[in-house]
Each structure stands twice: as structure tokens, then as C-alpha cells.
Structure 1
Amino acid sequence: MSSIVEEILSRADIVEIISSYYPLKKAGKNYRTHCPFHPERNPSFTVSPEKQIFHCFGCGVGGNVINFIMLEEKVEWKEAVRILAEKLGISLKEWKGENTLYSLMEKASIVFRKFLLKPEGKSAFEYLEKRGVSLEISEKFKLGYAPPVNWLRELDDFSSQDLIKGGLALEREKEIYPYFRNRVIFPIFSLTGKIVAFGGRTLEEIEPKYLNSPDTPIFQKGRTLYGLNFTKQEMMKKKEAILVEGYMDFLSLFQEGYENICACLGTSLTENQALLISRYAEKVNLLFDPDEAGEKATLRAIEIFWKAGVMPRVVVLPQGYDPDSYVKERGKEGMDRVISQSEDGLEFYLSKLQKIEEGNLTRILEKCFQAWEEMKEIWRRDEFLEKSAHLLSLSLQTVKDMWVSYRKKRRFYLPNVQQLPPSSEIHLLSLLLNFPQERQNIISKIPIELISDSTIKGIIEKLGKIEEEINIPKFFEKLSEDEKRVLSGVLMKEIPHKDPLKEANDCIEKLKQREIGRLKVEISNLEKEGKWEKVVEILKRLDELKRRRV
């Protein structure tokens, strides 16, 4: 798969894209609407932000965001990629040199790392040592150093145009100069683990203290979260994220064992960054500096996460600390304690607004309504109205009346879900998708000839060629249309599992017994027809099947 497609799949949020065509309503952790591809009375078209796929339980259509655009716009695959690139602000012309830029970033990272470990990198090395960054963390995150001299000569394999386009150089009076000078370097990774940009912390008394790469064809700051490529799996497992502001906050907490964490590159949180977190977490703990700027950033982040459908909580540190200094002084036990005491996002928001608006309840509620009217989780509004009434010592009816006058109330209902029929073959497929560590073991036990559904058989064969954990949207690019329909349905059904190996053995035993039953019927029919040679042949197959152990 080309890196442009990988980039589109990593940047595109399927909920955001589909909701730009049709209104989606929250249903559990997924979203639903009436299927745009067949007439129906009850909504059965389901979109998963976690898996980045869609599936209709009515007509069976399903796939990733590219497949949706193909169906909706009635276009071929290439045109769907172009449409998505345009929606995401990705220039396909600029992307023609994408491989060169990725190679440049990788080479630059090696150069920065080399400088850190050489004598000229002593000040940067000592800085990281003083900040408590272990050698293991430094190596894992490929930390480096950009010296004050012109280090661009180390990249003479690349043209000046590439260096400028990649954000590593500036052009002044027809001369090019390094973008980073005398700075500790933090490589910034894409969701797929490729280096796409850098952050630099100055070792001098100059501003800005932190400097990020400019936006490039392969990097958009507002769509990237530092460290997420390393932590997204743990985030998904816990369904909870910790968000900090800067690189050192991230590294210090990660080093202490917090592996569901990411950082917003030291800048204000964007809606795209919040949507990115919503793919992996249902709740986020905001761990910002406790100063005035940090408080403003927290209030804005709460509003953005409400809109993204992620419920924020606020971790309040004592004055004079930031996450980095606090975890260093108090350790993981101390940080665990303040995280466990985090405040509900709405309570924090209202308490701060009361001070900002000097107790003016009308302005406070209008500010709340502005934040709530674009919430994806519309059903939460009633809960928020009730809670706000209690916290502001108002009657619920008063708050509801003010909301109605602010905007007409929208009705919402949860549709009935049409489930897929139970099947041992579907159950096996679900096991292979949900337990990558057991995938090859289970596949080795499956008698593939006993899989009756040719579509499921094709998916299992493709899964057998993948040893690592599956990136669902990317895997869909390898499937036929029928395979996409079946797989999206299995993924959306979310079959509960307890003991994967025992369940796999049970499913295989059912397949075996089903085939034994089929062969017995075939033998009976052949006996009636007097085809004894065929009967003997099938009896041998039957005996082999009965003796086969799972």
C-alpha cells in the first residue's frame, strides 16, 4: 500500500467524514443512521470510530472510509482517494515526493542522534540526563541534538528544495540555513511509526523555548499527537487516555509506566487531535500545568472533547508543579493519587466559569450551551442539564427552559440493532481478529476445507499471512467487496470471548461434526443409488475425519 493511502487512512476520521454527508447519532460506542444505500425504517448503518469502519446490518455493505466514498460518490478507488485527500487538505502533487521526505526525516533523525552521542552533543546529553531521561527512553524515542553549526551538510544526499520542503532548512537571500540550532531534538512520529517532523528544545536563553517543524506535505501539527504511535494500543485497551502538553511531560510519565498517554506538541489542543484520541479512548484525563495559561487550555480542551464525544476529567496539580516535575518528586504513587482524584470535566468547567463570569448565571449557561450544541453525544445533554442545574443551585425546569430558548431541542432515540446470525465460522473469524497472539496457532488447527463459506475462507487465508497485529482500515484494502461486507459485520457484532483456544477448538469440533453429518447423508443417498465404489471412498473420508483430533 502506498504511503499516501496510509496517510489518508491514518488522518481521516470515518465518523467525521460520514457525518459530513449524513447525521450520525451515538449508540453505545458506535454511531448509527439510516442506511444511504438501501431503504429502511429503522437505522442499521453503523460506524465504528474505534475500528474506523462502517457496516449496514440491513444490506450488508461495509468497509473503510475509502470504500464509503466510493459508494457515496459512485467513483472508482483512485478518485475516492483524491476526494479524501482534498477533504483532508493533502496535496497529491506535493505527495509525489513523499518517499523522499520520509527518507529525509529518517536520515535527519540518524544525524541528530549521532550528534547527541558525540562530544559536541555533551550539553544536550547532560540536559537530558539532568531531566531524568533514561538511556533506554532516549534510544526508544530517538532523541537527538541539532548543533549550532551548519549540520545540513550531513544531508547532502538531498536537494536544498527537499530540505526546505521537509522543514529542516530556511532560505534567506538565496542561502539556506538549519531550521534547528543548538536544540535537543524530539522526533515526531506518524500513527504508523514513521518520523514526519521534529520538535526542538533550546539550550540557550532564547525564545521560543520549544520549536516544532513547520507543516509539510507529510506533517500537520494540528492533526498529530506526540507519542500516540507508541501508546494507542494501551489507550484502546484501557479506553482511557492521559493528555499532557509537552514532550518532557510525556517522556517522564511514559518512563514511569504510563503507557496510555500522548502530548499535543506543546500547543493548544485542536479538534482533529481530539478526534484522533476518540478513536482509542472514551475518557481522557487532562494533565496540564496549573497556571493561568494551563487553566485556559484546560477549559478549551474540555469543550473540544465534549464535541468529539470523549468525556474529559481534569487532574489538578499543586501550584508550582508541572506533570514532569511532579512525577519526578512524588513518583508514580503520587501521580496515581492525583489522577484518581481527578475532577469531572463539567464540574471543573462550571466552577471556573463562575469565577470568570462573576456569578452571572445567564452568561455561564449560554457559554455551556455553545459548547454543548455541537456535542456528538447528544444524549448526554439531558444529563448535563440536570447536573448543571444542581451545581448552579437552579431548578431543572429553569435550565431546560433556558436551553429551549437558546436552541430548539432535538429528539434522539436509540435504534434497534439487527444482529448477525450465530455461526461457528464467524466465531472463528472473530477469534482470529481479536487474539493476534493466538492467530497462527488457531489457523494451524483449522481444516480450511471444512469452512463452507468461501468468503470467510478467503479472509482466513489472508489473515494467515499476517503475523503482526492488524491495522483494520489498511487490511480492508486487501479484501474483495464480499469479504469487506462479512468482515465489517463480524467486527461490529463484537462477539464476547473468554478462552480463545477452547472456543476455537469448540468451533472446529462443530465444523467437523457438521461435515460428518453431511457425509452420512451423502452415503445414505449413494447407497440408495447403488454407487458402492463412491460409498467406500466417502466412508474412508468419514473415518479419517472421525479420527482427526482438534
Structure 2
Amino acid sequence: MEITEKIKEAVSIVEVASQYTTLKKRGKKWVGLCPFHSEKDPSFTVDEEKQLFHCFGCGIGGDLFSLVMEKENLTFPEAIRYLAEKYHLPLPEDKTTYRASKLEEKIFEINEKALTYFRNNLFKTAEGKKALEYLRARNFTEETINKLKLGYALNSWDSLFREFSRTYNPQDLEKAGLIIPGSRAGEYRDRFRGRVIFPILTLTGRVVAFGGRTTFDAQPKYLNSPETQNFTKGNILYGLYLSRDQIKKAEEAILVEGYADFATVFQAGFQNVVASMGTSLTPQQVNQLRRYAPRVIINYDGDEAGLKASARAVPICLERSLQSRVLLLPEGLDPDGFIRKYGAEKYEQLLRKAPDGFRFLLWFYGRQVNLRKPEEKSRLARMVIQDLKRLTDPIIRNEYVKQAAEYLKIGEELLYEIMEEEKAPQPSANQEEKEIFLPAEKRLLQIIFTQEEMLPLLIGELKLEYFEELPSKPIIKYLQDCFQLNRSWDLTGLQEAGEVQLVQHLARLLQEDPPPASVGEALDCLNTLRKTSLQKKLKFLQREISLAEKKGDKEKLTSLLYLKHEITKQIMAL
């Protein structure tokens, strides 16, 4: 039997529709006020026998899946998974993913019990009461604490491990991200210690991971679960489970960085808020937002790091036609600190005045540029053009070209002319020489070495693992070292580090006079390189899987299949 038929057999459309509106029996059918539009007289009808619904007021109608897709803003496959998870129906799986799926369910089970454990710590232990006092001192109400299902991890090396090892083996607890290996064989320690716990929930309300805020001034201040079978940080928005209805109603989301920001903004009455759990907004998170609203206000911290994070986020929104505004709070404050200091009313006033995301980009790119100097103006124009080229809608692009031309004090026609010029392939003066860099690798190096302001924006995303077996790996390591030691970076420094051959290749590609780039283009290059790295790992794993199958090594095969599933998920998310 198909999974759709199983769901229809097990799930009543009346029960699902009743979650969105109050239904009353009228003859063989059920009627109520339509959940899709405002009305005084009920025109929404549900036929339980036929498993169909229809509104005679707005005309919307369909089956069980249509209802969930419309109300939850889901695709058809997502609606199937949503209903299957909600009503505990197993999804069809092939043999390859069966073990991975069992582990996924095991992790969800462990996480649910861990949340209960953390909640009990907060309300029923002496140490937890001190954590409660800390939360109250930060003006979090009982209602907010309970709505967000906050908990507390005891300041003990292994209290969770000792409690949970009675029921679960250490390998499963480690895969759930709750424990880490100790210094001795067979020793394990709790990942979260002395921290207020913020559970991270899926859209169906299942606990997928945790975030923890220290109450003992430990480092880091905030700690997240690692990426697991169930959790990829860049694929989920914290708080969306709670705020999606208000986001749909407001037709706009407020995007903040962290858990405390979310809690304070949500409690202050702005319940159309979500958090990206860090400053690296991903395309997947933007796609999620677009399902619920056409607009977003990016409200990261008001310091320099927050500025740079906003500058990385806006191009991703532009490319995916999500209208953005950027709210920069004064005094370098984050939303949590600002609302606690100045109140919700002042915050609302600033929200209303938040400038358009593209205008923010113009200001950010141009804040250290002297527009009276033709060379600097040209460089800025070409940088802005890289973001304009990402826009797929010609009407939107036309409006932003007008804004850019006005800011730069040049003609719109000139901007279009430069865009057309840059579409043409630029032949290399040394085309006959063998190119050792991948196209994305080459472009990224051009961006970093010709636009020094880019490295501080990208340094958090430059992971050496993305450059494994690539010729640029020593260059990236050199850049990381320079940034960490607050030194400038150039070809001379790279040559002094002993990379003479690499310097020759790098010098050649920098002679090509590449056009200025945007942060968005640089991030695209990084994503491409990350995907290439993951695909190499996948190819190697497939060989290992074949060997394990031939040898009949079931334990190793299970582990390899899990890794393959994880890497495939990461590739699909890019």
C-alpha cells in the first residue's frame, strides 16, 4: 500500500481540520469558519467520508494533503513526512537507509527524554533554581520559560551520562550529540554543563538538537549540539515552530542571531521572529522563510561583526527574491540588550525605520570609498554589479539598478553596459598554461587577494577541510594564520612561507584583472568547493562500503552507511 493511502486510512481530515478551526456536525458534513480567510458566517465544509474540504467563501479546497500544504506552507513530500511523523506512521525506506532511519528515530527518542531531564533540572534541583533566578534577572517570564521549554544542564562532568547510560549505549548518546569522549578509554563527559538549555524543535515539534548558554562564564558563551543524523544547523531556523503563524499573519519575519535575542524579542510581543543560530544565514534558511513571508528584517548585533553578517545575508535574500530590510541597533547592542535597556516601544520604532537591504549594501560597500575618486567609484560599481547580476526578476533588478545609479551618481545605462561586458568571457593572456585551480577555487583566491576587505567577512567560513587535496590549501592556511596574528597578507609573505610554485600560479591568475566581487559571489565559490569536497568523501566511502560488503563486516558497513547518509544530506542541503 502507498504511504499516501496509509495516511488517509489512519488520519481523519476532520481531526486535522479541527486543529485550524472549530467544526460542528451538520448532517453528514462538518462546517466551520474558514481558516484561510476572515468571515463571520461559516462557509468551510469538510466531508469526512470523501476526505475532502471546500470553502464556499474563498473557493479553496482539496484533500487532506492540500489542507496541510496550505496551512503549514509545505511541499507535497513535506506534507507526507509531516503527517507521517505526527501520526507515527513509518515512511517507506530502501535497505540502504533502513539502519540510518532507525538511528534517526533513536536520536529523537533520546532528545525528548533529555529535554525532560533538563526541564526537571531547572525546576527541581537547587542548582536549577539558581539558573531560574538568572533567567528571571534577565526579565524572562514564567510564560516565556515554559513556551520555549527551557531547561538546565547541571554543572557536572557526567550527570546526564550516568543517568542515561542505564537505558542507552554511549555510542547512541554520542551520536545524539549529548556526550563527548573523555581523555581515557571508555570515559565520557556531558557536552552541556552549567548551561541554560534551549531545545531546537522541528516544524512538527520534535526535539532535534539543543543550544546551551553558560551561567558560569565558561567559553564559548553559547554552545550548540553538533550536526547529527537529524540536525544540520544551516537547515533549520530556531523558533520557527512557535512563530510561523505570526510570520504568515505579519507577512514579514524578524531575523535575529541567537536564542536569547529570540526569547527577548518574542516575549516583547514581536512573535514573528526567528533566529539563525549564528551569523551565517544559509540559502536553505532563506528558502524556509520564503514559505511563510515575502519580507524579512535582518536584525543581527549592532557591532562590526553584526554588520558583516548582515552584509553576507542580504545577497542571499536578493538572489532568492526575499525582500529584506536591515535594522542596525545603536551602541553595538544586540536585540536582547537593546530591549532590556530601552524597551519594546523604542525597538518597534526602529523596526519601522529599518532601511532596505540593498540600500544597506550600498552603504556597507561604500562606507570607506571616496566617490570623488574615479578609480574607487569604478571599483565600488563593479562590486555592486555582482549583486545586481544575482537578481533573476528583471523588474526587481531594474529598480535596484536605479538605486545603485542614484547612489553612485552615474547613469543606469552605464551600469547595464558594464553588466553586459562582464557576461562576455575574459580570455587569459596565458591560456596555453595549465590551470591548477578549480574555477571556484581560482575565483575565490582572486576575490580575497584583490579585495582585502573580503577576508574578515569570509574568515569564519574558510574551513581547511573544504580545500583538502586542492592546491590552494596552503594558501588558505597562510590566510588563516595572517588573520589570527593580525598581519597583512600578500604574495611576498606566501613566498616566505616556502610556497614558491603556488606564488607563480597565484600571480598569474591575479594578472587577469578580475572584476570586483560581492560577498555573495565569494560565498557561492565556497559552497561549490564544499560540495566538491563532500563528493570526494562520498566517492571514497562508496569504495569502503563495497569492500565491507565483500568481507561481510556488518558493524563497519553500518557505520559507513551512516556516514554516507550524513554526507549525502549535507550535499543535498547545499
Correspondence 1:261 to 2:268: no
Q: Is the 8 A contact 1:225 1:264 kept in 2?
A: yes
361-370 vs 291-300, greater mean Cα deviation: 361-370
Distance 1:379 1:258 in 2: 32
Partner of 2:131: 124
For the residues of structure 1 that align with 2:327 and 2:299, how far apart are their CA atoms?
Answer: 5
Matched letter for residue 176 of structure 1: Y
Cα 1:215/1:356, change in 2 over 3 Å: farther
Task: Report the TM-score, using the length of structure 2 for normalisation.
Answer: 0.56
1:199 is aligned to 211
Shift of 1:64: 4.7
Q: Which stretches of structure 1, 4 residues or more, deviate above 4 A after TM superposition? A: 47-50, 63-67, 356-359
Over 3 Å counting, the alpha-carbon distance change for 1:126 and 1:78 in structure 2 is: closer
Partner of 2:387: 371
Confirm or deny: 8 A CA contact 2:259 2:275 kept in the other structure. Answer: yes
Deviation at 1:357, TM superposition (A): 4.8
Q: CA, structure 1 residues 233+386, in 2 after alignment: closer, same or farther (shift >3 Å)?
A: same
Q: Which of 277, 299, 303 is 2:289 aligned to?
A: 277
Residue 142 (structure 1) aligned with residue 146 (structure 2): no
Q: Which residues in structure 2 correspond to 1:499-518 (within 5 Å)? A: none
Aligned to 2:174: 164
Matched, 1:95 2:101: yes
**Whole-Å separation in 1 of the counterparts to 2:399 and 2:98:** 44
Letter in 1 for 2:388: W
Offset at residue 334 of structure 1 (A): 1.0
SS of residue matched to 1:249: helix
Deviates more, 1:349-358 or 1:226-235: 349-358
2:119 is matched with which residue? 113
Aligned counterparts of 2:218 and 2:379: Cα–Cα separation in 1: 40
Equivalent of 2:241 in 229, 233, 236: 229
Q: 1:393 to 1:208 in 2, by over 3 A?
A: same
CA contact (8 A) 2:385 2:415 kept: no
The one of 304, 310, 313 aligned to 2:322: 310
- Quick check: 1:286–1:313 contact (8 Å CA) kept in 2? yes
- Whether 1:211 aligns to 2:223 is yes
Gap change, CA 1:133 and 1:92, over 3 Å in 2: farther
Q: Residues 187 and 402 (structure 1 numbering): CA distance in 2 closer, same or farther, change over 3 Å?
A: same
- Structure 1 residue 388: Cα displacement: 0.7
Q: How many Å separate the matches in 2 of 1:124 and 1:49?
A: 37
Q: Aligned AA for 2:138? A: R
Contact 2:389 2:419 (C-alpha < 8 Å) held by counterparts:
no
Q: What is the Cα deviation at residue 398 of structure 1?
A: 1.1
* Structure 1 counterpart of 2:336, one-letter code: D
2:396 matched residue in structure 1: 380
The equivalent of 2:362 in structure 1 is 350
Q: In structure 1, how many angstroms separate the alpha carbons of the residues matched to 2:409 and 2:285? A: 35
| Cα pair 1:285 1:313 within 8 Å, conserved | yes
Give the greater-gyration-radius structure (CA): 1
The Cα of 1:52 is off from its aligned counterpart by 4.1
Shift of 1:363: 2.5
Distance 2:259 2:240 in 1: 12
Q: Which residue of 1 aligns with 2:538?
A: none
1:241-298 superposed Cα distances (whole Å, 9 cap, x missing partner): 0000011111011111111100011342111111111111111001111110000001
In structure 1, the residue matched to 2:87 is: none
> Residue type matched to 2:378 in 1?
T
Give the counterpart of 2:198 among 186, 196, 199.
Answer: 186
* Contact kept? 2:178, 2:192, Cα under 8 Å: yes
Moved more, 131-140 or 314-323: 314-323
Q: Secondary structure at the match of 2:330?
A: coil
